[in-house]
Chains A and B, each alone.
Chain A
Amino acid sequence: MFRIIHKRQLSDAVFEMGVEAPAVARKARAGQFLILRVDETGERIPLTFSDWSAQEGWVRFIFMRVGATTHKLTHLEVGDELADLVGPLGRPTEVGSGRVAVVGGGVGAAVAYPVARAMCAAGDDVTVILGARNSELLILEDEFRALPLKELIVCTDDGSAGRKGLVTAPLKELCEAGALDHAMAIGPAIMMKFCAATTREFAVPTTVSLNPIMVDGTGMCGACRVSVGGETKFGCVDGPDFDGHAVDFEELMSRQRVYVDDERSADAEYSKGCSCHL
């Protein structure tokens, strides 16, 4: 079983959780993910590592409460156990590209953090652009400040923290200044799409970390199909990182919506019997 040893609420609906999983922690690399099941009737959901310790044998992830499964997850406390946790899955993010901008939007910051850390460790020159709707939703700012970054640029839609505006504005400035060898965008599909569109003009190679719907996470089902450069790839084993200039984001966003009605009804059903007000 996989015991929860850490839980922290980062904003209204965003939580960080640490789980004992020594074998997984030993192999985890930045950009990889795990799949967990909350309980015996739970679905398998992929979550990217936000941190891990091989030595202490734990992994961490950050999640936003969006449906029944993540809702259930918010109700687990330190000492409780997850039914299942498997990983590390997917390919690690490539590091060593030189001057890099890492864009983390919303909960995507959770993935951007170990990625930026790994890039720093590889000697890259890393600028991080953190974006959120407002200051309350901004996460991990302190953790990023503790990394040897070239610069940390914070953006919020309403200007309640950092610059007012979208992450694409500072990204474009960096491109214009010729300050980038590579860009990496992690966040909602729509944000990654616009980041890729921004860098395309300047021919700055751009990696995006995709989050298609998954079941097994090992290449066995094809639920995670994404179109990249006109070819079908499996997000879980060929990715999750892909060339942002070649990804069909419209298809990705459409495929992410298949089960919205089911998810809504499942969450409504679960919330009926739940006293919390999340």
Chain B
Amino acid sequence: MPELDAHERARSFDEVAVGYDADMALAEAMRCLQCANPTCIAGCPVNIDIKSFIGRIIDGDTKGGVEVLKARNALPSVCGRVCPQESQCEAACVLAKKGEPIAIGRLERYLGDSDLSCDIDSRCKPDVAAPSGKRVAVVGSGPSGLACAGELSRLGHAVTVFESLHEPGGVLVYGIPEFRLPKQVVASEVDMLREMGVEIVTDTVIGATYTLADLREELGFDAVFIGNGAGLPTFMNIPGENLNGVYSANEFLTRVNLMKAYDFPHHDTPVWRGRKVAVVGGGNVAMDSARTALRLGADEVFLVYRRTEDEMPARREETHHAREEGVQFKMLCSPSQIVGHEGFVTGMTATRMELGEPDVSGRRAPVCVLDSDFVIDCDTVIMAVGTRANPLLSATTPDLGLTARGYIVADEDGATSISGVWAGGDIVTGAATVILAMGAGKRAAAAMDRWLRVPG
């Protein structure tokens, strides 16, 4: 797929991957073997009928292709951009064994974007069933909540989504940067949900503005879906972490993405713009932070990770992009202390690591090399070392069954310990992916629909 030049784009928030035009999409689609028994579909967590939508592109039937996609996935323009296709559908493509798999994600994005480029009346709008007379509240407007809301509304229920922030989208708007997922794409997808009749109420914290019990007892909702994510940032608990210039990835990304601090002072929220930035972690969140720091004007950005690049959980495409743009990888390093002067960061001490025996996750565990401490000269540190469940809602919902680590206990369908309350997405699985969160929202919607239709 065409991309902006690495040097040019490393200073700009414009989207990196430019996307296919119609000719490129057709050429790529034509490579598809249209297998009698397509293996790709099983590789997709929501089982999109990949063979059919590619078939529609080959036939020149873009609208038909969009319909196939939308039957399974309400947010194709989002998933086409951020799904880890290389380990899902594309890994299962028969052509993967022979070399280059079909670029399924890019074709998905192509179709999704062609739908978004229409005005709202000519967009592909799922048929909405006759009103059921039931009302459902959805807590959180991340991918799980949006997918659940879309599906419930399609099934004829009146859905209200409650979001604590001022904008809907969850991680899609506050976490994933503009250069990877333009906020306009998310806004257009949300517009379609509104068009389908979903009501979205922002600035409302469930657990504070209303409790979960209020939603049912006072506001009269028949059922509730909880998709409040795993948004609580963790830190390393090393000395110096509260110095100025140390951010959680969540704070750094929220300031830049949701609050648009890159456009300060036209947007009022500031962000500390470091010259030398150390990002700690090896996942997508770390890559997004590092690439964002470059775009804010940093001279040098270091990615500090305690294992090697092979163990990094980030998508290959993202590590590749980060390296191309100039992020310097410091592998096998574990931060031990952040040092500062007059309250501001001036550096980070790290210990060298080496890989030992495989641990429970199957990855080789890093072990410290004795007396190997060294200092990384930096004025900003971004901690991208994971998130946990936010207890705001659960603390005010005593009957809600939780795991030892505070995640909500739910069955395959998302049913929780409280009758009439479902949950899904990161708050059940721990930090995962957009598509898994959407799949969970959709499965819960189907179960909720069955429950709501039981006469009684």
Contact = CB atoms under 8 A, between A and B. Distances in A.
Chain A contact residues: helix, strand, loop or mixed: mixed
A69 interface: yes
A173 interface: no
B455 interface: no
B231 interface: yes
A254 B343 contact: yes
A219 B392 contact: yes
A40 B171 CA distance: 19
A223 B245 CA distance: 11
A220 B250 contact: yes
A41 B268 contact: yes
Contacts of A218: 164, 205, 208, 231, 390, 392
Contacts of A43: 259, 267-270
Contacts of A215: 251, 254-255, 259, 269
Nearest to B237: A232
B260 interface: yes
Given A216-B165, A222-B250, A44 B209 contact: no
Interface residues of B, number: 41
A87 B260 CA distance: 22
A255 interface: yes
B212 to A, nearest CB: 14
Given A220-B233, A251-B242, A41 B209 contact: no
A237 B393 CA distance: 12
B205 A255 contact: no
B266 interface: yes
A221 B235 CA distance: 11
A258 interface: yes
Nearest to B210: A23
Contacts of B311: none
Contacts of A23: 204, 209-210
A85 B203 contact: yes
B264 interface: yes
B417 interface: no
Contacts of B242: 225-227, 232, 251, 255
Interface string A166-201: 000000000000000000000000000000000000
B254 A221 contact: yes
Interface residues of A, number: 42
B20 interface: no
Interface string A47-89: 0000000000000000000001100000000000001111111
B260 A266 contact: no
Given A219-B392, A237-B392, A262 B264 contact: yes
A147 to B, nearest CB: 27
Given A41-B266, A41-B267, A84 B208 contact: no
B232 to A, nearest CB: 5
A62 B242 CA distance: 29
Given A84-B166, A220-B231, A237-B392, A258 B265 contact: no
A237 B269 CA distance: 21
B270 A68 contact: no
A44 B250 contact: no
Given A222-B250, A251-B242, A216 B164 contact: yes
Nearest to B241: A232
Contacts of B270: 43, 259, 262-263, 266
Contacts of A251: 242, 343
A86 B205 contact: yes
A223 B251 contact: yes
Given A27-B209, A83-B166, A87-B208, A221 B250 contact: yes
Nearest to B252: A221
B211 to A, nearest CB: 9
B13 interface: no
A221 B343 CA distance: 20
Interface in B379-436: 390-392
15 contacts: A23-B204, A43-B268, A44-B166, A68-B265, A69-B268, A88-B208, A88-B209, A219-B390, A222-B250, A237-B392, A251-B242, A254-B244, A254-B342, A258-B244, A266-B268
Closest 3 CB pairs of A and B: A254-B343, A262-B270, A221-B251
